[in-house]
């Protein structure tokens, strides 16, 4: 049996008529930049997340970059974040002249470990960027308490966690801003790059909205230096169609995760931990596996694709060598890089396909 890691065609087929019509409507209107669908998507995503404001942007990285910029974080400042994630949170901090300060992860959730944050705070620290990794939110009560005591801002990186909750509170409910990604593989993905910043703070939302259009409040009048970071209208139109199905797809992902849990319960691998305070939306189903690389090679030969998130911590990346971290600086991150493996998960995967994946995993360990 040949398994797909992700099948976007399976998602598209039942929505084909509606998505094709939405795209054609944009073409007919010729409002390709900042068209009506962009504003409608902003209102709908804000409603979905329970925030007052949302600003559509060109990518999740744009959302992070402009959020940090909107808080006037720059040269001489420090921002605490995790080394076990995609590069964007640390990258945007560094690009704005500030210093990324890494903090190790909780080995159960893979999210930033709040107990380790206080030791990273200095007089230069301005913000914390917790990443809600794999679809599960970080321990936000602890992070919020730490930030309030130290007078720090919180920027939530929710690129993998739209629809997730912490104590029934959604992303965007902590700190000033939360950042979303609509990259095609995300739980809510477009047909190209896309992102959004959501916030209850009008001043910050307005500033991000101006920054995305070259610092312009009024066309050809520039109040500040900004960037070209707009979301295309066609992407907004596609995302509006898909947003209506997101809750259903989330429930399907959670069901897939439960089936994996049951099928792998008698295997040597460690299934994903669920924080009881969280509603995990399973962007990724990530296991810890003994002999991880051997298992991955074996599964590939059986036409079962897997993925490693992430093979090397950010603190050991060449791009961040100047920060002076060494191997051993963050042992939990480095252990996760050696042991974690993502299995195929998407709403349309069948139980028989999951059974095949799990049977082959068990066969590997019985060799």
Q: In what order do the strands lie in the sheet with 169-170?
A: 169-170, 165-166, 278-279
Q: For 260-278, what is the mean pLDDT? A: 97
Q: What is the pLDDT of residues 87-135, one digit of tens each?
A: 999 999 999 999 999 999 999 999 999 999 999 999 999 999 999 999 9
For residue range 29-45, what is the model confidence (pLDDT) as tens digits?
A: 999 999 999 999 999 99
Mean pLDDT over 275-291 rounds to 98
CA dist list (Å): 74 to 101, 181, 209, 324:
14, 23, 19, 20
For strand 285-288 and strand 340-343, is the pairing parallel, antiparallel, or unpaired? antiparallel
Q: Is pLDDT at 347 greater than 90 in this prediction?
A: yes
CATH number of the domain located at residue range(s) 8-103+111-243 in this protein: 3.40.640.10
Q: Is the pLDDT of residue 291 over 80?
A: yes
Whether residue 173 has pLDDT greater than 90: no
Query: What is the average pLDDT across 203-211?
Result: 97
What CATH number was assigned to the domain covering residues 246-366? 3.90.1150.10
Confidence of residue 306 (pLDDT cuts 50, 70, 90): very high
* Under 8 Å between Cβ of 204 and 176: yes
Q: Where are the domains of the chain?
A: 8-103+111-243, 246-366
pLDDT tens digits for 222-247?
Answer: 999 999 999 999 999 999 999 999 99
Q: Which residue in 187, 215, 168, 162 sits closest to 44, CA to CA? A: 162
Average pLDDT across the chain, whole number: 97
pLDDT at 367 over 80: no
Give the predicted TM-score (pTM) of the model: 0.97
Residue 175 pLDDT: 83
Read off the pLDDT of residues 309-323 as tens digits, 9 standing for 90 and up.
999 999 999 999 999
Give the Cβ contact number of residue 211 at 10 Å.
24
Q: Mean pLDDT, to the nearest integer, of 4-16? A: 97
∠ CA 139-144-149 to the nearest 5 degrees?
Answer: 135
Distance in angstroms (rounded) separating the CA atoms of residues 159 and 181? 4
CA distance linking residue 319 with residue 274, whole number of Å: 33
Per-residue pLDDT tens digits for 52-65:
999 999 999 999 99
String of DSSP letters for 50-103: T-SEEEEES-HHHHHHHHHHHTT--TT-EEEE-SSS-SHHHHHHHHTT-EEEE-
């Amino acid at each position: 049996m040949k398994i797909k890691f992700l099948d976007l065609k399976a998602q598209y087929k039942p929505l084909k008529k509606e998505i094709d019509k939405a795209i054609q409507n944009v073409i007919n209107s010729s409002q390709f930049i900042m068209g009506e669908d962009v504003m409608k998507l902003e209102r709908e995503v804000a409603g979905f997340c329970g925030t007052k404001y949302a600003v559509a942007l060109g990518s999740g990285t744009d959302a992070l970059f402009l959020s940090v910029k909107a808080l006037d974080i720059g040269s001489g400042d420090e921002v605490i974040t995790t080394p076990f994630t995609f590069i964007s949170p640390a990258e945007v901090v560094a690009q704005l002249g500030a210093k990324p300060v890494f903090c190790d992860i909780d080995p159960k959730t893979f999210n930033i470990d709040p107990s380790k944050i206080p030791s990273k705070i200095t007089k230069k620290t301005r913000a914390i960027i917790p990443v809600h990794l794999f679809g599960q939110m970080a321990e936000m009560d602890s992070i919020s308490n730490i930030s309030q005591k130290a007078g720090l801002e919180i920027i939530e990186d929710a690129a993998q966690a739209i629809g997730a909750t912490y104590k029934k509170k959604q992303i965007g409910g902590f700190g000033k801003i939360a950042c979303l990604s609509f990259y095609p593989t995300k739980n809510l993905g477009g047909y190209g790059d896309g992102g959004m910043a959501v916030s209850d703070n009008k001043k910050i939302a307005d500033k991000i909205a101006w920054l995305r259009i070259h610092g312009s409040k009024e066309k050809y009048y520039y109040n500040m230096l900004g960037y070209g970071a707009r979301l295309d209208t066609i992407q907004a139109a596609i995302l509006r169609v898909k947003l209506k199905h997101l809750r259903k797809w989330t429930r399907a992902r959670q069901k897939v995760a439960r089936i994996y849990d049951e099928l792998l319960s008698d295997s040597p691998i460690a299934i994903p931990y669920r924080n009881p305070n969280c509603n995990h939306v399973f962007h990724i189903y990530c296991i810890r596996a003994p002999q991880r690389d051997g298992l991955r090679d074996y599964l590939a030969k059986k036409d079962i694709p897997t993925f490693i998130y992430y093979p090397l911590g950010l603190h050991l990346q060449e791009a961040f060598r100047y920060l002076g971290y060494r191997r051993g600086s963050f042992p939990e991150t480095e252990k996760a890089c050696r042991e974690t493996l993502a299995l195929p998960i998407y709403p349309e995967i069948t139980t028989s396909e999951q059974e095949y994946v799990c049977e082959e995993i068990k066969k590997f360990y019985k060799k």
